[in-house]
A and B are shown apart, each in its own frame.
Chain A
Amino acid sequence: MSTVMTPEPSTETAFVTAGPRGRRRRDKSVDPIPWWLTVIGVAVAVYFILPTVFVIPMSFGSTSSFQFPPREWSLDLYVNFFTNPKWIGSLGNSLLVAVMASALATTVGTAAALGLHNLTGRLSRFLRTLLMVSIVTPAIVLAVAVYISFLQWHLVGSIWGYVLAHAAIGVPFVLVSVTSALGGFDPQLLRASASLGASPLRTFLRVTLPLIGRGVLTGAIFAFVTSLDEVVIALFLRAPAFQTLPVQMYNAVTVEVDPTIAAASSIVVVSVTLILLIPLLVRRTKRR
């Protein structure tokens, strides 16, 4: 007797209701997760972290080869990493470049985010997209063009070349992060501050900056990590006198066959993970 109806979605939009994100109470009896989904999910999760986890055991091997599992266990690779001027020097270069590039990208990007936040219209939307485009442009295309132009401008091999290039590709991350923080910002607060006697500069320092501070910090961190990890442009801009860590790692695989790269990779993976957890932890503690 019962007629079985399968609902026909007339248009996609008709059925899209904003599902509750976050606080979901999954009713386990009505809507259980199928076992095969869990298996796939976990398997893919393993696939995600497998390589990054692999390097850590590798790093405790010996200096002789890339073999896995390592034939001998030792700390030689770490010792080499911290004493060999090629390695520790490139680490220092990378850190220096990353700090400077991040500072530049954060300053420039925060200003741009503030400006774009208050502007409307096609031109400002276009400019915003323009500033974000470097995220999806192929690094190789940028690297080649930048390399050739930097040759003419004598920036190849100089630290400034690295800083400027890395800052340029770090800006989109700062822009997204600060824009996100501005999204939750109540514009009336600025008027309130003015009515209470604070000049525009004081308002920026006492109201705007604290409220977007987290966004600025997050953006700065992402710009830092992006620079630290950047390979393609760095490969083109390198000179014997100045190389970054990723370039040295590249050499270790292709030219030198140096397993110290395992130690370097472990160190990088662990420290970047820790750095990235900072914003998450900050958010946790802010919640009273």
Chain B
Amino acid sequence: MTITTPRRRPNPNWLLLVPALGLLGTILLVPLVQSFLRSISSPAWGIGNYVALFTDGVTLTVLGRTATTALMVTLIAFLLGYPYAYFMTRVGDRSRAILLVVVLIPFWTSVMARNFAWITILQRGGPVHSVLEFFGLGHIQLVGSQIGVTIAMSQVLLPFMVLPLFSALSGIDRKLLLAARGLGSSPLRAFWKIYWPLSRGGVAAGIILVFTLSLGFYVTPALLGSPQQSLIAQLLAQRTTQLLDFAGAGALGMLVLVVTLVLVAWANRIGGSISAIGVVATSGSKGR
């Protein structure tokens, strides 16, 4: 059968995408591409800047420190987030809505306000420190140390653990656990053999997401950490604004970006976390 009418006009829906692609392309993509090009072309063509990252003695140390902090943050977020998400699946609708709001409001409200609050809470003479002094641990410095950074970052990033987890956990039918218990499993075994495996997808997504976000965090380490113990984000800022080493900063930025994107793509594959965060965060309550 030959088609006798001429080929139809191209689908006008593509036109609707042009403004968005144009905006993001110009404002985000072009600078990143420029940054990349700069990193391989200045001062001379080649991967010299990237090699320098591994040989300058600073980058690797900072990367290591950042990774360690990120791991700690992720661990804390997981240990706190999993029970909380699980708790959310168990309570009634009203309570769940409240718990969700408790997660989302800090998520959306001022990063600066939260960091400032942590400074006041953790500072010398502040409430937490007073408690520590009471226990004879007054020498521990919270603000201006990695401990303070870790505590604050865990709280700020906790929603990124809770939201994908809650999304995954609420898809698990509790009757499975009851069935297991009815068949003779102890609650612990039932959890370990049934609930945990089913939640692994959400756990993986949450863990990778929090870890990835921790790597690139700037404000909290800058405010609660010390310059001697800066993380990769601070290093990047320093390279740019103080050392004016645009090419080197570009290389470092590309490194962080690639690592982040790879990890997020992996998390997305496991748990669809990008969409999960976006949807749950913007739709408010999932349980109607």
Mark A residues whose CB is within 8 Å of B: 2, 4-9, 12, 15-24, 26, 30-31, 33, 37-38, 40-41, 44-45, 47-52, 54-55, 58, 66-68, 104, 107-109, 111-112, 114-116, 118-119, 127, 129-150, 164-165, 167-169, 171-173, 175-177, 180, 218-219, 222, 225, 228-229, 231-232, 236, 246, 249-250, 253-254, 261-262, 264-266, 268-269, 272-273, 276, 279-280, 283
Known contacts A7-B179, A246-B112; is-contact A218 B240 (Cβ 8 Å) = no
* 9 sample A-B contacts, Cβ–Cβ < 8 Å, listed by A number: A16-B173, A21-B287, A41-B88, A55-B117, A135-B277, A164-B26, A167-B27, A180-B279, A254-B222
CB-based contact A149/B194 at 8 Å? no
Contact with A along B89-129 (1 / 0, CB 8 A): 01111000001011111101111111111111101011100
Chain B residue total in the interface (Cβ 8 A): 116
Give min CB distance, B81 to chain A, whole Å: 8
Q: Spot the interface stretch: B1-9, B49-57, B134-142, B181-189.
A: B181-189
A37 x B112 contact (CB < 8 A): no
Contact present for A180 and B283 (CB under 8 Å): yes
Complex-state Cα separation, A263 to B80, whole angstroms = 30
Q: A144: which B residues are within 8 A, CB to CB?
A: 35, 236-237, 240, 249-250, 253
Contacts of B28 in A (CB 8 A): 134, 142, 146, 168-169
Nearest to B28 among chain A residues (CB) is A168
- Whether B172 sits at the interface, judged by CB under 8 Å, is yes
- Inter-chain pairs besides A108-B19, A149-B31, 9 sampled, C-beta below 8 Å: A15-B198, A19-B173, A45-B84, A51-B106, A51-B155, A55-B116, A68-B123, A114-B13, A246-B110
Q: Are A40 and B116 in contact (CB under 8 A)?
A: no
Residues of B within 8 A of A (CB): 11, 13-17, 19-21, 23-24, 26-28, 30-32, 34-35, 38, 80-81, 83-84, 86-88, 90-93, 99, 101-106, 108-121, 123, 125-127, 152, 155, 158-159, 170-174, 176, 178-180, 183-185, 189, 193-194, 197-198, 200-201, 209, 212-213, 215-219, 222-223, 233, 236-237, 240-241, 246, 249-250, 253, 256-257, 260-261, 264, 274-275, 277-279, 281-288
